[in-house]
Amino acid sequence: MKLWDKGTPTNKAIEDFTVGKDRELDLYLATHDILGSMAHVSMLQSVGLIQEDELPAILEQLKKLYSEAEAGNFIIEEGVEDVHSQVEFLLTQELGDLGKKIHSGRSRNDQVLLDLKLFTRDAIKEIVESTSDLVDVFLNRAEECKAILMPGYTHLQVAMPSSFGLWFSAYAESLADDLELLQSAFKITNQNPLGSAAGYGSSFPLDRQMTTDLLGFNNMNYNVVYAQMGRGKVEKIVSFALANLASTLSKFAYDVCLFMSQNFNFVSLPTEFTTGSSIMPHKKNPDVFELTRARCNKLQGVPTQISLIINNLPVGYFRDLQMVKEVFLPSFKEMNDCINIVSLAVKNMSVSDNILEDDKYNYLFSVEEVNKLVLQGIPFREAYKQIGAQIEEGTFQPEKKVEHVHAGSIGNLCLDAISAKKEATLLGFSFDKIEQAKAQLLG
């Protein structure tokens, strides 16, 4: 079944090529397509395109389909082009011509736009929740390890004293900022395109504000042409936000792989979190972080793939946009899998508490000794020269003690402030409004 079928058969090779992976990928969208149809038919009844006594029968069948899709039992049959066609086909099977009325006032163009936005809203919610949990995991580990010093590096050379508290909380704050960008992407997503039809509106008196409210959107894409121009643009913006988050995790994964090597031996994972070698019995490999790094680097390529698909398309709909789904829809699960596995691993990570006892880290404290001289009244440049001379002569003997008290330093990690920054960002998402709207539609 094809919603555009006018009775002329399509060449089988052409059909297979143009349908592509839509039947597989549209399963991501099934619950969202049905929910959008419920809002749409409710609006159609309010403007007289569906009779008042017809609406309950349509909604009842759509609710049954939603339950099947939510349980994972919804399938797109062979010969049915996409999820939109499957839903209408099943409705028509049950309700006859009444099922055919649901497409009045919309096109597959605004239908898939809506499905993608509803899917993306829910997918972002899941990412936000798991990222928030990971921030808390990092902050908890920072609090536990705040007194344990470790080397800090610049140019991969020993630089200045750091701490595991600083290291863990740095990634917590980075993720908190990543949530800010994700919130911006969410706000752009959370606008209703339904009613734009094929991109040029409809002669029906559609109530677009009604579907906006029924689906819990903050507002709508007002201009119908721009609503269609948003296809691909929204996915690109959201994928940039995910890529930013992936960048943070990739960086952390690299740190862990480096710090787990015997040359560093700063952190370790339980044996059951590592893998071995087929010929080297001593090996305990951090494969979980190597794969996290690789997957997150792969996710950082998604915005580029989407950009290359859409970057030279003029105004209006083009089938090129179908290809965006292939890289966009699966990216959320891959991102969420990485977040959750990092969270599990960090909770179980052990840190070394005597790293700086090794004399090779003596020079970490050179700045501390320079600053002590400055506090005694010696000009900084002169103090720098004195300590530099001691290092060159081999007489430098530091007191391995750190007293940093300013905001964000080893002795004042500002963990509560980082947590508050995250919580303030979470308040900017309107997830409760969305869940309430969904509950009312399904109720």
- 249-265 pLDDT tens trace: 999 999 999 999 999 99
- Look up the domain containing 385 and give its range: 358-393
Q: Is residue 157 part of a domain?
A: no
Say whether both 267 and 292 belong to one domain.
yes
Q: Are residues 312 and 428 in the same domain?
A: yes
CATH number at residue 67: 1.10.275.10
Quick one: 244 and 365 in the same domain? no
pLDDT of residue 263: 92
Residue 215 lies in a domain: no
Strands 267-268 and 191-192, how do they pair? Answer: unpaired
Rounded to whole angstroms, how far apart are CA atoms 6 and 207? 29
Low-confidence ranges of the chain (pLDDT < 50): 1, 4
Q: Beta-carbon neighbour count of residue 24 at 10 Å?
A: 13
The upper half-sphere exposure of residue 176, i.e. CA atoms within 13 Å in the direction of its Cβ, equals: 23
Contacts of 412 (CB under 8 A, 6+ apart): 404, 405, 406
The answer on 376 and 349 residing in a single domain is no
- Do both 75 and 180 map to the same domain? no
Judgement on whether residues 287 and 389 belong to the same structural domain of the protein = no
Query: 47 and 189 in one domain?
Result: no
Q: Decide if 327 is inside a domain.
A: yes
Asked if residue 204 belongs to a domain, the reply is no
Distance CA 188, CA 190 (A): 6
Confidence (pLDDT) at 283: 83
Cite the DSSP H helix spans in 83-150. Answer: 83-95, 108-144
The verdict on 183 and 230 lying in the same domain is yes
Do residues 263 and 278 share a domain?
yes
With respect to residue 246, please indicate whether it lies within any of the assigned structural domains. Answer: yes
Q: Quote the number of domains for the chain.
A: 3
Same domain for 345 and 378, yes or no, is no
> What SS3 class is residue 409?
strand
Tell me, rounded to whole angstroms, the distance of Cα 32 from its chain centroid.
19
Both 275 and 306 in a single domain? Answer: yes
Q: Are residues 342 and 296 in the same domain?
A: yes
- Is 216 contained in some domain? no
- pLDDT score at 316: 87
Structural domain includes residue 1: no
- Asked whether residue 153 is domain-assigned, the answer is no
Q: What are phi and psi of 290, to 5 degrees?
A: -65, -40
CATH assignment of the domain containing 337 = 1.20.200.10
CA gap 114, 94 in Å, rounded: 25
